[in-house]
């Protein structure tokens, strides 16, 4: 069975032809990251992913992690690969070299990250969460905390987590019960329990650093009274040496549907009254600080789902080319006709092209968001920085919510292409589907992402952020309309974009009216249509670039470029019409979902 993770030709296309990442090297900050260097980095990431991380995937699923009296034991092979990953300095690729990073563009980071998470995202959650936790220290920690924690976290010597969820405070974080009391030495005594903590306990490194949300006694109720603390598993002395256990105890791990290789823990802080933490940021500003990590984590979750999807697609594609079953439909009445690979059957082609458009479109979207971060860094214009940030803010819930939904659909189709073999564990698509399912739930359920898009992002900066995004889409449409090969597709995308503008105005209006419940009952559908239009944008952009590259293209590239045109044609002709129907549903604003009585649901 071929070892496939991501289509390198497509990765290169997005980096160099669509986003032109090499142009970032014109700026002093990224001067060393020319095209040659970028290609070498992606190659090294792919080599490590294929040779070392991918072999852990099936092992992680079958052996998983074990719990023994407060300790979590990972498979023996994990430690070696974890150390190799850290030795290559892959954990903090885009961060400042002063703190253990490589200072590379985030666009390039996204390409390397794709190979790693596609190889085994359960394993990659250990370093992935460490990066997010370290970013909190960098953004909100004092100089003392940075000196003690930051480099060791970015280098993977110590790992990190994200401690929000409690038994009675899941999506409603403001209901948390964990408490904090200030001590005379400036630390805080932390007490409470957290659940569903990914990588909360393990044996891969010497210390685990927990960003913990808790409420200081006397603080306001709800999210306004939440504060963020940095709580190490082992106390860290001022000189950076490790001290005593800090009364952080793992009380159990979850048996899950997928991602068996990652420890999902229940943690008790201060069960003996001896847990201490450092204030991270300002008192009662914990949710605002935590959103720095949450937005990064939501983009990572989008990539995790995409990693499952792209691997499933490539496995299914290879299988369809090799699996011989049935005659070609045009020869079905010819008794002497040979059986053919199933890729020749129209319905299998329908599934494969559906998988293709979503994996390629999501790759472009995820890399584009990272590219917006790079533009923010290199531009001197405050207006451009604000424009990029606004676009990022609007796209995050789409990348996480819509992206994980469509990625799961892709893994589902991967199983279907394999048929009965896809449903058994001998083949990888079964695990990829199970692993992918969590991405629609954690880091804010996809329903919450749709509420964020409607309730916060639609009106962000008085609507300027979504208008800036639509302006970027319109630029691609204008370019594609000048190209005969993409003109008709561009007109279809433009029609959908204009209709989306009408729908956005409608949703914004009813969300601020007595019809607010109806508005939020349709927020998920609104996220879906926004996602469809963004996908259409990405695929049209790709087709516009590819059609222009076809002239004078090398023979080996012709089929690839033609495939980009077919992807955009398929999406704009078969999926956007369905999107238009969903927009009609939103504009009709049916109230059945919010007016049906609880008893009318039945079940009694």
Instruction: Dihedral sign for Cα 286, 287, 289, 292, please.
Output: positive
Residue 209: strand pairing partners: 160, 232
Instruction: Dihedral sign for Cα 169, 398, 292, 458, please.
Output: negative
Radius of gyration of the chain (CA): 25
d(CA 366, CA 388): 14
Q: Which residue in 443, 494, 518, 528 is the catalytic one?
A: 443
Q: Which residues of 189-215 are buried (b: 16+ CB within 10 A; e: fewer)?
A: bbbbbbbbbbbbbbebbebbbbbbbbb
d(CA 428, CA 422): 8
Q: Looking at the chain, how many residues does it have? A: 604
Residue 331: DSSP 8-state = G
Q: Is 443 annotated as catalytic? A: yes
Residue 496 sits at the vertex; the CA angle it makes with 494 and 497, to the nearest 5 degrees, is 65
d(CA 352, CA 343): 8
Contact 440, 404 (CB under 8 A): yes
Terminal Cα distance for the chain, rounded: 50
Contact 297, 443 (CB under 8 A): yes
For residue 185 the two structure tokens come to 């030495």
Question: 160: part of which helix (H) or strand (E)?
Answer: strand 158-160
**Residues belonging to the active site:** 443
């Amino acid at each position: 069975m071929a070892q496939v993770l991501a289509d390198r030709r497509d990765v290169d296309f997005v980096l160099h032809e669509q986003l032109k990442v090499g142009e970032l090297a014109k700026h002093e900050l990224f001067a060393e990251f020319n095209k040659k260097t970028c290609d070498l980095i992606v190659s090294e990431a792919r080599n490590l992913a294929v040779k070392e991380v991918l072999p852990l995937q099936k092992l992680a699923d079958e052996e998983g992690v074990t719990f023994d009296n407060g300790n979590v034991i990972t498979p023996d092979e994990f430690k070696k690969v974890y150390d190799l990953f850290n030795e290559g300095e892959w954990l903090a690729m885009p961060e400042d070299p002063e703190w253990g990073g490589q200072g590379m563009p985030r666009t390039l980071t996204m390409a390397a990250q794709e190979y790693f998470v596609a190889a085994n995202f359960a394993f990659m959650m250990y370093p992935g969460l460490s990066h997010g936790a370290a970013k909190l220290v960098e953004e909100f920690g004092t100089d003392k905390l940075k000196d003690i924690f930051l480099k060791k976290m970015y280098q993977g010597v110590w790992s990190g987590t994200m401690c929000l969820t409690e038994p009675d405070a899941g999506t409603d974080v403001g209901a948390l019960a964990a408490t904090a009391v200030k001590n005379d030495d400036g630390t805080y005594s932390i007490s409470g329990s957290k659940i569903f903590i990914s990588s909360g306990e393990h044996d891969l490194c010497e210390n685990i650093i927990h960003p913990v949300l808790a409420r200081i006694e006397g603080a306001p109720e709800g999210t306004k009274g939440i504060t963020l603390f940095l709580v190490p598993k082992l106390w860290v002395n001022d000189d950076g040496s490790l001290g005593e256990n800090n009364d952080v105890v793992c009380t159990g791990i979850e048996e899950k549907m997928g991602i068996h290789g990652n420890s999902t823990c229940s943690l008790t802080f201060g069960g003996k009254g001896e847990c201490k933490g450092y204030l991270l940021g300002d008192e009662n500003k914990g949710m605002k600080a935590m959103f720095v990590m949450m937005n990064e984590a939501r983009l990572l979750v989008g990539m995790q789902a995409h990693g499952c999807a792209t691997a499933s697609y490539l496995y299914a594609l290879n299988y369809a080319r090799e699996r011989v079953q049935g005659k070609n439909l045009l020869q079905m009445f010819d008794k002497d006709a040979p059986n053919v690979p199933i890729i020749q059957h129209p319905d299998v082609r329908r599934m494969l092209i559906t998988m293709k458009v979503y994996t390629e479109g999501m790759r472009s979207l995820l890399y584009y968001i990272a590219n917006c971060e790079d533009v923010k860094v290199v531009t001197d214009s405050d207006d451009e920085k604000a424009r990029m940030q606004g676009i990022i803010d609007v796209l995050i819930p789409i990348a996480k919510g819509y992206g994980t939904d469509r990625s799961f659909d892709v893994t589902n189709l991967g199983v279907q292409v394999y048929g009965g073999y896809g449903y058994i564990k001998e083949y990888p698509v079964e695990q990829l589907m199970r692993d992918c399912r969590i991405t629609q739930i954690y880091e804010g359920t996809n329903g919450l992402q749709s509420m964020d898009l409607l309730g916060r992002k639609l009106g962000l900066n008085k609507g300027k952020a979504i208008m800036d995004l639509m302006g970027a889409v319109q630029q691609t449409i204008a370019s594609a309309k000048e190209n005969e090969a993409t003109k008709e597709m561009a007109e279809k995308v433009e029609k959908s974009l204009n209709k989306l503008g009408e729908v956005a105005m409608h949703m914004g209006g009813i969300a601020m009216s007595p019809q607010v419940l109806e508005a939020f009952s349709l927020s998920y559908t609104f996220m879906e249509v926004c996602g469809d239009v963004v996908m259409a944008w990405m695929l049209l952009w790709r087709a516009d670039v590819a059609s222009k590259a076809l002239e004078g293209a090398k023979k080996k590239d012709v089929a690839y470029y033609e495939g980009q045109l077919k992807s955009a044609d398929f999406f704009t002709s078969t999926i956007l019409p369905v999107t238009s129907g969903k927009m009609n549903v939103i504009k009709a604003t049916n109230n059945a979902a919010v007016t049906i009585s609880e008893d009318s649901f039945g079940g009694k």
